[in-house]
Amino acid sequence: MQLGKLSMPSAPSSRYFPPLSAPPTLSMSISTTLPPAPVPSHTGRPPALSCASIPPPTPRPPRAHGPSEIIPRLYMSDLAVAESAPALAALGITHVVSAMRGHVALPKDDPVLLSTLGGGAGAGIVHAVVPLDDLPFSELAAHLPAATHFIRGALRDPRARVLVHCAEGISRSASVVAAVLIAEYGWEAERAVMFVKSRRLGAEPNVGFVKQLQEYADSLKKCGAFPASRPASGVAFGS
């Protein structure tokens, strides 16, 4: 778009303008006092917590700190007992089942322990491992046939004493011991677990293990290996 030439207006003719008077002075009183700022309803920060508003930590349930005899010659404990030569010697332990993963410093060559076991060739603790994590979905059931066979076979010898342990002596070892009661005495899982809990303070198999224990009992029934139910008290093992 082209723009045409702009014509400039001619200079105005000379005219007389009277002098301007000064503008009137305005008088205003401006207050500099500002009203208080409103308090926001939400500052974006969580309210400060007082000590009174913090709930106390949930106390851990009491539990046993030493070995527990579940049935005659079958014991349950935590890792500390399994790694203590004096504790094993005092109980006369001949077989140890470790229901856990990780290293277990079993004092197999301790001279005091060896002397307790009779010394000589072949003396020493027989050790079996059930590699388990204490998680509801850990495959407990797959290990139970071999674990119960080992423990029941050991206890056929009246001189044998078996210790089943895990890290804390709460869930994994309790589950393995309960499986022994199921296989030996023909108990349902609930009865076996309750019996173990009555003999060891704090024993508590996790919910997944309890379910697998009942599946183990059902599998014994299906294959005809589930014995007639009998009490553990006053009955010699294997009779």
Assigned token pair, 54? 């913090």
Sheet holding 74-77, edge to edge: 68-71, 74-77, 162-165, 95-98, 126-129
Residue of 106, 166, 178, 203 with catalytic role:
166
- CA distances for 234 relative to 49, 72, 190, 228, 230, angstroms: 58, 9, 21, 16, 10
- Distance, in Å, from the CA atom of 52 to the CA atom of 48, rounded to the nearest integer, reads 11
Q: Is 166 a catalytic residue?
A: yes
3-state secondary structure of 119: coil
**Residue 122 backbone zone (phi > 0: left; psi -120 to 50: alpha; other: beta):** left
What number of H helices and E strands is found in the chain? 7, 5
| Residue numbers annotated as active site | 166
